[in-house]
C-alpha cells in the first residue's frame, strides 16, 4: 500500500449502515434476554490512545453496547495498545493469555485489538500464531472502521485483520465519550516526523499531519456548548503544528484563536518539543489568560552527547536557556518533563548531567523511564547497551532528585490560594473533593458534590509532596 488511503463518503456511509445493523442485532438480543450487551476497553499508552478509546466508545455506544469496567461481564473486549516500551507490550500478551481460557468458557465474547502495537509485523505474526481466539485486529490509521470490521467478523466467523501502513485523510466529525464531562481532549495533529533514535512512535503513527484550524475551532466551540471548560490539545509535537498546511498557521496563532472561545476556561497542550518552542509561543502563553501556566517539556537527558545520539536536536545549554526564557516571561509557570535513563552509551558523567538539569529546573512532575530497546529504531543497534542493574540504580537516584524538586515546589504553594477545577469526589474520603489547579497540581479539600465541574478558590494548607490539601475560601 504505497499511496495514501482516502476515506470517501461512501466508506463513512458503510460505517453508519454497519452501526445500524449491529444495533438492531443488539436490540433483538436485549428484547430476548432482558440484558444489554456490554463492552470493555483497556487502554495503555498516551493521551492519543486514550482519546482514540473515547472515539471507539462512542461508536460502540451507537451500536447499542453498554460500557462496563468489569472485563468478565463484557461481551466485547477491546485492547487499545501501546508499544513505546517493552513492558507495555508484555502486559498485553499476559492479558491475552488469560483471555484464551476465559473465551473457551464463554464462546460468545468477542476480542478485538488495536493501537500502536498492531502496526508492527512481529506483533501480528505472534498474534496469528499464539492468540488464535482474537476476532478483530486493526491499527492506528483506521479506527473509524470498527463497525464494518465487527460486522465482517460476525458474518464470516473468521478473524479480521485490517492494518494500514499509510494514513488516509484526517477524519472529522468523530464523536467521543468522555469520562469527565467538562474536560476534553482534542487532536490538533497526528503522527511525528522527529525520529528520536529510541522512539517507535513515528513508525506506528505515521508522518506528521495537522488538522485545519477551522475544524479544531469548530470542535472546541461545540465542546464548549456541551459544557466543556478545559481542553487538552494533543499532538506528539504541538510546536510544529500547522507547518504542513496549505495555508500555514503557527501553534501560537491557534492558541490565540482558541483563547477567544466563550465557555472554555482552561487550555492545556502536550507535547512540546524543546527544539521547536518559539518565542512567539512563549508570548502567546503569557498573553492568553486561558492558557494554563504549565508546560510539559520533555528533556529526555541532560547530557548533550546523549541528546545528540537521541537525535533530539538541542543541547543541555539550549534546553536550560529555553527554560530560563520561559520562566522570565511567565514567572509562576510550572514545568514537567520526561526522562529516559540508561540510553545506550550513557556514562555516569552523562547521568550526572541529567541530575544537574533536574536540580536546576525543578520540575513539578517528571515521568521517568528506563530505556527500552525497540526493534527497528536506530538506538536498538547502538553499541554499549546499558546493563539493567546500572540503569535501575541510576533510575533510583534520579527519583530522589526528582522528588526533592517536587517537594520544594509543592512547599511554595502552602499558604497560597489556587483556583481548583473540581473533578470528582475523593475516592478515599467521601467528604473530600479532588481537583486540579491551573498549574496541574492535585488538590484535595472538603466540599460537596455540587462543586464538581466548577472552578473554586482553595487555600492550600498542607504539602503532601505529590498532592496538596486545602480549604475552600
Task: Write out the residues near ligand F3S by the rule CB under 6 A.
Answer: 45-46, 48-49, 82-84, 116, 201, 204-205
Kindly state whether residue 192 participates in binding ligand SF4, applying the rule CB under 6 A.
yes
Kindly state whether residue 202 participates in binding ligand SF4, applying the rule CB under 6 A.
yes
Q: Could you list the residues that contact ligand SAH (CB under 6 A)? A: 84-85, 198-199, 201, 236-237, 271, 273, 298, 300, 338, 340, 369, 371-372, 374
Q: Kindly state the smallest distance separating residue 270's Cβ from ligand F3S, in Å.
A: 11
Q: Kindly state the smallest distance separating residue 14's Cβ from ligand SF4, in Å.
A: 32
Handedness of CA 388, 389, 390, 395 (dihedral sign): positive
Nearer of residues 83 and 282 to ligand F3S, judged by Cβ: 83
Residues contacting 271, CB < 8 A, separation 6+: 235, 236, 237, 238, 296, 298
**468 phi, psi to nearest 5 deg:** -125, 155
Nearer of residues 237 and 463 to ligand F3S, judged by Cβ: 237
Of 306, 310, 321, nearest to 355 by C-alpha is: 306
CB count, 10 Å around CB of 393?
14
Half-sphere exposure of 171 (CA within 13 A, CB side): 21
Kindly state whether residue 306 participates in binding ligand SF4, applying the rule CB under 6 A.
no
Q: Kindly state the smallest distance separating residue 397's Cβ from ligand F3S, in Å.
A: 25
Nearer of residues 140 and 236 to ligand SF4, judged by Cβ: 236
Take residue 141 and report the three cell numbers written for it: 490509521
Using CB under 6 A, pick the residue from 98, 195, 367, 466 that binds ligand SF4: 195
> Which of ligand F3S, ligand SAH, ligand SF4, none is residue 111 near (CB under 5 to 8 Å by kind)?
none
> Which of ligand SAH, ligand SF4, ligand F3S, none is residue 82 near (CB under 5 to 8 Å by kind)?
ligand F3S
**418 phi, psi to nearest 5 deg:** -120, 145
Kindly state whether residue 236 participates in binding ligand SF4, applying the rule CB under 6 A.
yes
Q: Kindly state the smallest distance separating residue 44's Cβ from ligand F3S, in Å.
A: 7
Half-sphere exposure of 151 (CA within 13 A, CB side): 17
Kindly state whether residue 49 participates in binding ligand SF4, applying the rule CB under 6 A.
no
Amino acid at each position: 500500500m504505497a499511496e495514501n488511503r482516502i476515506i470517501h463518503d461512501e466508506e463513512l456511509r458503510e460505517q453508519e449502515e454497519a452501526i445500524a445493523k449491529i444495533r438492531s442485532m443488539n436490540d433483538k438480543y436485549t428484547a430476548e434476554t432482558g440484558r444489554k450487551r456490554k463492552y470493555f476497553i483497556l487502554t495503555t499508552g498516551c493521551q492519543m490512545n486514550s482519546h482514540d478509546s473515547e472515539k471507539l466508545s462512542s461508536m460502540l455506544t451507537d451500536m447499542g453496547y453498554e460500557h462496563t469496567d468489569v472485563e468478565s461481564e463484557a461481551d466485547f473486549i477491546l485492547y487499545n495498545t501501546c508499544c513505546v516500551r517493552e513492558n507495555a507490550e508484555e502486559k498485553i500478551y499476559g492479558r491475552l493469555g488469560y483471555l484464551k481460557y476465559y473465551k473457551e468458557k464463554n464462546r460468545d465474547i468477542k476480542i478485538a485489538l488495536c493501537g500502536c502495537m498492531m502496526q508492527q509485523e512481529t506483533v501480528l505474526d505472534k498474534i496469528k500464531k499464539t492468540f488464535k481466539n482474537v476476532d478483530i485486529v486493526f491499527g492506528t490509521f483506521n479506527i473509524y472502521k470498527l463497525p464494518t470490521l465487527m460486522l465482517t467478523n460476525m458474518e464470516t466467523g473468521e478473524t479480521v485483520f485490517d492494518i494500514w501502513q499509510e494514513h488516509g485523510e484526517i477524519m472529522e466529525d468523530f464523536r467521543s465519550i468522555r469520562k469527565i464531562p467538562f474536560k476534553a481532549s482534542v487532536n490538533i495533529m497526528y503522527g511525528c516526523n522527529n525520529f528520536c533514535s529510541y522512539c517507535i512512535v513515528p513508525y506506528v503513527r505515521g508522518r506528521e499531519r495537522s488538522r485545519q484550524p477551522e475544524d479544531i475551532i469548530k470542535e472546541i466551540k461545540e465542546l464548549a456548548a456541551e459544557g466543556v471548560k478545559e481542553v487538552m490539545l494533543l499532538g506528539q509535537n504541538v510546536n510544529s503544528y500547522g507547518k504542513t498546511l496549505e495555508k500555514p498557521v503557527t501553534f501560537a496563532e491557534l492558541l490565540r484563536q482558541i483563547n477567544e472561545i466563550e465557555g472554555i476556561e482552561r487550555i492545556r497542550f502536550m507535547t512540546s518539543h524543546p527544539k521547536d518552542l518559539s518565542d512567539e509561543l512563549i508570548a502567546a502563553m503569557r498573553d492568553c489568560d486561558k492558557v494554563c501556566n504549565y508546560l510539559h517539556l520533555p528533556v529526555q537527558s541532560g547530557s548533550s552527547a546523549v541528546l545528540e545520539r537521541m537525535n533530539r536536536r538541542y543541547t543541555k545549554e539550549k534546553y536550560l536557556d529555553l527554560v530560563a526564557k520561559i520562566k522570565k516571561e511567565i514567572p509562576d509557570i510550572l514545568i514537567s518533563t520526561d526522562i529516559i535513563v540508561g540510553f545506550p552509551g550513557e556514562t555516569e558523567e552523562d547521568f550526572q548531567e541529567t541530575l544537574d538539569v533536574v536540580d536546576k529546573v525543578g520540575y513539578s512532575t517528571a515521568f521517568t523511564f528506563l530505556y527500552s530497546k525497540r526493534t527497528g529504531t536506530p538506538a536498538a543497534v547502538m553499541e554499549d547497551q546499558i546493563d539493567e542493574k546500572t540503569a535501575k540504580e541510576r533510575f533510583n537516584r534520579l527519583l530522589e532528585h526528582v522528588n526533592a524538586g517536587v517537594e520544594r515546589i509543592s512547599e511554595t504553594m502552602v499558604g497560597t490560594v489556587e483556583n481548583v477545577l473540581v473533578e470528582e469526589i475523593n475516592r478515599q474520603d467521601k467528604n473530600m473533593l479532588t481537583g486540579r489547579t491551573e498549574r496541574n497540581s492535585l488538590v484535595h479539600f472538603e466540599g460537596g458534590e455540587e462543586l464538581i465541574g466548577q472552578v473554586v478558590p482553595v487555600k492550600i494548607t498542607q504539602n503532601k509532596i505529590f498532592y496538596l490539601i486545602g480549604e475552600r475560601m
